[in-house]
Chain A
Amino acid sequence: MNDLIFFFNQAVIGGVVLGSIYALGAVGVTLIFGILRFAHFAHGDMMTMGAFITFVLAGVLAAMGIVTPIPTGVLVVPLAMVLAAGLALGIDKGFYAPLRARGAKPVTLLIASIGVTMMIQGLIRLFFGVETRSFFDTEPKQIFRLELPFEGVTRPITFTEPQIWLVASTAIAVIALHYFLTRSRLGKGMRAMADNSDLAKVSGINTKLVVRVTWVIAGALACLAGTMLALDVTLKPDLAFNIVLPIFAAAILGGLGHAYGAIAGGFVLGFAETLAVFNWSVLLRPFRDVLWFDIPNSLTLVQSEYKLTVAFLILVVVLLVRPTGIFKGAST
């Protein structure tokens, strides 16, 4: 039993947490790709930017002496999402809209998004320095330990408060997005535009408004994802830059342009990473008497240094074997 709980703590909780982060990021990437048809590389840095906005707001709140039962970062994240959405609109207006107006190719927009990546990173490092920060300097990070009422079980199920917030907010964001896309007029317009933008235009859908709404949603989701990631680990300038490729991998795995596919892809990747570095000999140990071979001390699929590499490997394999992703994305 103890070994199973160890598996649950390491692989299942780890996979859900990582998968939620990937899913939240990949939804934004995939929405932008669906509507605007370009790979928006700056999404990772929009996540980092959102996390820093939340950090500043939380700092302001702490300076005002407001103490709440929930983490301050979670409290201010709605406001930060609004600000981040505004910034995303501004970034589009300043850097992408002029290129689109000229009829630039998607690759030009991709390069522009790398320029934006570098500008955001430069500014963040300029203002906040390169050091690592934590949301939990002033308040404790609550850790939950669930004891299981079974005989001989000594190991509790362990998770932290930010992880609950992360999973909960992912669920809320996904459900809200689902209702928006299927029930609201604008959401339906977005799906129509993702399918065929010319047809959507002649059907009287306000495509400019759809583009703006896309940026608002993408910016807000990026902020949420970045903040939740920073709450779970720590806040640093290359927080999300390092995982922007796994996020793309998740989006591609689910089929670029498919919001639900991105969520599924995110969780698949999250579990793939944690399971690949999980030490499987722990689960084999109870059977050591019946097995015919000696169980090695460490029996992982890949060494833990290669954890992120698993995502890249899946990315490359998916691109080569099935570039449309699991759900047949918008690839042409």
Chain B
Amino acid sequence: MTVRYIGLFAALFALIVFVGVMMGTPFTVRLMVEAFAFALIAMGLNIQWGFGGLFNFGILGMLMVGGFAVTFVSFPVNMAFWESEGPALLGLTAVAAGIGAVLIFLAHRVQRFGIRGKWRGAVIVVAWFAAYVIFRTQMDPAANTITSTAGWVGGLGLPVILGWAFGGVLAGLIGFLVGKVSLGLRADYLAIATIGIAEILRAVIRNMEWLTRGTLTVSPIPWPVPNPQYYQAQGASIADSFVYARGGYLALVVAIVIVALFLIHRAYQGPWGRMMRAIRDNHISAASMGKDVTGRQLEIFVFGSVLMGIGGAILVSFVGIYDPSSYQPINHTFIIWVMLIVGGAGNNFGALFGGLFIYIVWMLSEQLATALFGTLSNWSSAMGWGEIPDIETRAVQMRIFVLGLVVTIALRFAPKGLLPENIKARD
């Protein structure tokens, strides 16, 4: 087993060095920053699926929440908003939301007043509807006023690292709510429910222009480390400044990944991890041993979501732009699953390896496809059949196909992944 670990990570290192030689250092450092962020997200999914056997197909939602959190915390303050009547209107909205929440809470308790069965259901539906109407009567004017006077809420102007932490907290909070309502479902129903919730989140974040600026996008989002402009002001050449700045970012991300890996690996090997695996493999027998299955699963769902939120925040700060419409299920949910399946579900190093490796494959398949099509095109024009049109745009699409092919091959020939979970006969 050890040979396999060393071999695979050495091969990965060689691949990175090869990419560095072929594509240049600035590109490679950028690739590695993003790859490590994705590896962190894959580790989050590994907690949920690998440790707990929970099917989360709503990763996209967590990434969006993390990205929003870091945007909100680290973007400079928008004084136009704070000086307008926006905050007061938002306060009214919060009051309305509170009234609605109280209504819903009371409606769920009506059986205490003797209203049961269908009538209770009807009361709950009416209460939800009333709460929704009350909320909308305050939310709509507030949103309109803010977008017309100040544009949007703006940020808080706090340090970026705080934004990353807030991304984790917010994603954990959302994960708690999602888990609370949907963890009772069976695996494939859970998958569909989480996708549904993520799509709702996506629609809401994209359309709440007053809070997230929606399709107008937010940029530039500050960096936690000195950015290329800083190094250029210090007199570094442009190419060098990118390498230095991205290198600093990379060091920070790698440090976070190492800390996370250390922590979750210890958790995995400890009694907590053993309990989680027991719940995953047979939750009925685990429950009969006195383990709180639902509570533990919720715990796992939240932990995984926190890592995903931090990963999403890191990605957004790095590109420096928050564009809610750029989030797509393939690029932000399915790819994470491919990473975990190929790397090896249940194995933290497998998740790390899968995250790095698949992201590199994902980014490089475009370049390789361009080269391949270029060759084919030359050949076909030499044969007198004419060139292949639109090579550039078509090559981008190749990577989706490659990803699909990789995961189907992995499922068929290496269903446990490249680094399978190490199950000891006796602990």
Contact = CB atoms under 8 A, between A and B. Distances in A.
Decide whether A and B are members of one complex: yes
Interface of A: 38-39, 95, 98-99, 102, 104-108, 110-112, 114-123, 125-126, 129-130, 245, 248-249, 252, 303, 305-306, 308-309, 312-313, 315-316, 319-320, 323, 331-332
B185 interface: yes
A122 B402 contact: yes
Interface of B: 55, 181-182, 185-189, 191-193, 195-197, 199-200, 203-204, 206-207, 330, 334, 337-338, 341, 390, 393-394, 397-408, 411-412, 415
A118 B334 CA distance: 9
Contacts of B403: 115, 118, 122
Nearest to B140: A303
Main secondary structure of the interface of B (DSSP, over half): helix
B207 A305 contact: yes
Contacts of A309: 199-200, 203-204
Nearest to A110: B188
Contact of A116 (B182, B185, B196, B404): B404
Interface centre among B188, B189, B199 (most CB of A within 10 A): B188
Given A115-B407, A252-B192, 19 more contacts: A95-B408, A104-B411, A107-B191, A112-B411, A114-B334, A115-B338, A116-B408, A123-B401, A126-B394, A245-B192, A303-B207, A305-B207, A308-B199, A309-B199, A313-B196, A319-B185, A319-B193, A320-B182, A323-B185
A12 B189 CA distance: 31
Main secondary structure of the interface of A (DSSP, over half): helix
Given A111-B411, A245-B199, A315 B397 contact: no
Contacts of A115: 338, 403-408, 411
B277 to A, nearest CB: 17
24 contacts: A95-B408, A102-B415, A107-B188, A114-B404, A115-B407, A115-B411, A116-B404, A117-B404, A118-B401, A118-B403, A121-B401, A122-B397, A122-B402, A126-B401, A130-B397, A303-B207, A305-B206, A308-B199, A309-B203, A312-B196, A312-B197, A319-B196, A320-B185, A331-B186
A114 B181 contact: no
A15 B102 CA distance: 35
A99 B412 contact: yes
A315 B190 CA distance: 11
Contacts of A313: 196, 200
Contacts of B182: 316, 319-320
A82 B120 CA distance: 51
Contact of A119 (B188, B393, B394, B405): B405
Nearest to B369: A126
Given A110-B188, A122-B402, A129-B393, A320 B181 contact: yes
Nearest to B55: A107
A118 B330 contact: yes
B191 A110 contact: yes
A22 to B, nearest CB: 15
A70 B256 CA distance: 63
Contacts of A125: 394, 397, 400
A106 to B, nearest CB: 6
A245 B407 contact: no
B337 A312 contact: no
B327 to A, nearest CB: 14
B362 to A, nearest CB: 11
A303 to B, nearest CB: 7
